[in-house]
């Protein structure tokens, strides 16, 4: 499914639903969208935002013949505690077989990720990331470093506070974005510049997604007069064009 998320090309949701575990979850866009889809009668969201595995779309990426960069579970968390290891393995099996795509997985459940990492395959086309919303959650990056993924990335979205010392060892890519939509919390430009100024000398690709706010189109994506659309090159098939 095509998406407007700036750092990917498509989404694939073999599971939907999640639960809140940290401050970044407070205004969850996926929960908002799930409730809207439930009200519209969308069958995959008949249980609202409860965690559900969808067998019927598990192999969908195998039918997409054109190579894509695919965000896995934009409406869920693949490492949610309610998802059994067996199903997670089946998701990974599809990614292994669909080697013409790049799959981007993002989780807040970094401890479970680290616990399961050695029981999962890690082909070059699977990129693994964790979300870190403020300095209290940089420990998730320590868990991420235990994963033998070709690309390890950190999403600082929504960025809710300053991170003066971002641990970048073993990290290939950093995404930063402000919260958007109803109740969006403020992101200070100094927080963003501090992160960029740590990434550049460390040769870590830096992607600035948005300033956010209630109307994210109005606030835009420019940081100090330019856009930052850097991607890591490691692990990406040549057939997928990266900026």
Q: How far apart are CA 171 and CA 180, in angstroms?
A: 26
User: With bands split at pLDDT 50, 70 and 90, how would you rate the model's confidence at 233?
Assistant: confident
Q: How far apart are CA 121 and CA 148, in angstroms?
A: 9
Angle at 111 between CA 108 and CA 113, to 5 degrees: 75
Backbone angles phi, psi at 38, to 5 degrees: -60, -45
DSSP 235: T
CA-derived radius of gyration, the chain: 17
How would you classify residue 204: left for phi > 0, otherwise alpha for psi between -120 and 50, otherwise beta?
beta
Is residue 167 within 8 Å of residue 130, measured between CB atoms? no
Q: How far apart are CA 36 and CA 150, in angstroms?
A: 36
Q: Is the pLDDT of residue 243 over 80?
A: no
pTM, two decimals, is 0.96
For residue range 180-229, what is the model confidence (pLDDT) as tens digits? 999 999 999 999 999 999 999 999 999 999 999 999 999 999 999 999 99
In this predicted structure, what is the pLDDT of residue 122?
Answer: 98
In this predicted structure, what is the pLDDT of residue 238?
Answer: 61
In this predicted structure, what is the pLDDT of residue 236?
Answer: 60
> Which residues face 148 on adjacent strands?
none
Mean pLDDT (the chain) is 96
For residue range 2-27, what is the model confidence (pLDDT) as tens digits? 899 999 999 999 999 999 999 999 99
CA dihedral 50, 53, 55, 56 (to 10 degrees): 40
Q: Which CATH class is domain 10-219?
A: alpha beta
Q: How far apart are CA 120 and CA 92, in angstroms?
A: 7
- Of 158, 215, 164, which Cα lies nearest the Cα of 187? 158
Q: Is 126 helix (H, G, I), strand (E, B) or coil?
A: strand
């Amino acid at each position: 499914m095509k998406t407007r998320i700036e750092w990917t090309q498509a989404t694939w949701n073999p599971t939907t639903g999640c639960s809140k575990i940290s401050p970044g979850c407070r205004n969850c866009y996926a929960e908002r969208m799930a409730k809207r889809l439930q009200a519209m009668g969308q069958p995959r969201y008949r249980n609202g935002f409860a965690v559900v595995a969808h067998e019927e779309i598990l192999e969908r990426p195998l039918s997409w013949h054109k190579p894509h960069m695919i965000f896995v579970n934009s409406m869920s968390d693949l490492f949610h505690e309610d998802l059994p290891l067996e199903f997670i393995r089946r998701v990974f099996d599809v990614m292994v077989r669909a080697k013409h795509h790049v799959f981007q997985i993002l989780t807040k459940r970094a401890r479970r990720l680290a616990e399961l990492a050695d029981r999962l395959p890690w082909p070059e086309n699977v990129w693994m990331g964790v979300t870190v919303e403020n300095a209290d959650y940089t420990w998730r990056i320590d868990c991420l470093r235990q994963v033998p993924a070709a690309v390890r990335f950190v999403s600082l979205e929504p960025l809710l506070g300053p991170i003066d010392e971002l641990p970048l060892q073993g990290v290939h890519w950093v995404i930063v974005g402000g919260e958007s939509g109803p109740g969006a919390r403020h992101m200070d430009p100094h927080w963003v510049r501090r992160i960029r100024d740590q990434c550049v000398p460390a040769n870590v690709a830096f992607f600035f997604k948005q300033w956010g706010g209630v109307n994210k189109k109005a606030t835009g994506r420019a940081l100090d007069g330019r856009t930052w659309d850097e991607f890591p090159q490691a692990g990406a098939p040549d057939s997928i064009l990266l900026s």
